Amino acid sequence: METREELKQDLTENLVDRLGLTHRDSKALVESFFDQIRATVAKGEEMNLSNFGNFTVRDKRLRHEHNQLQGATRRPASRSRSRQDG
């Protein structure tokens, strides 16, 4: 699986090759594309892109943590972004 930067670089190169855009313009387009995905997912909406992936925010379950040094117990809950290949 490609890293995020490799994926962005591949998309940028494809835009340059197929559409004749400059590197600067194609990189800005790719960054804008991913910024839009992040903004949509941050609002809690799900985004499904055919043949690319599904982007969602998942609520993680509550869990108990105990800090041995301070003797404190807390129940953190968090949200995480996830992407499944489509």
Q: What does each of the 86 residues of the chain score in pLDDT, given as a tens digit?
A: 578 888 899 999 999 999 999 999 999 999 999 899 888 888 888 888 888 778 787 777 766 676 667 766 666 555 555 555 65
Q: pTM for the whole thing?
A: 0.61
Query: Tell me, what's the pLDDT at 47?
Result: 81
Is 85 in contact with 55 (CB distance < 8 Å)? Answer: no
The set of residues, in sequence order, having a beta carbon less than 8 Å from that of 9 and lying 6+ positions away, is: none
Query: Tell me, what's the pLDDT at 9?
Result: 93
Is 19 in contact with 11 (CB distance < 8 Å)? Answer: no
Domains of the chain: 4-84 (4.10.520.10)
Q: Which two tokens stand for residue 7?
A: 């994926």
d(CA 18, CA 72): 58
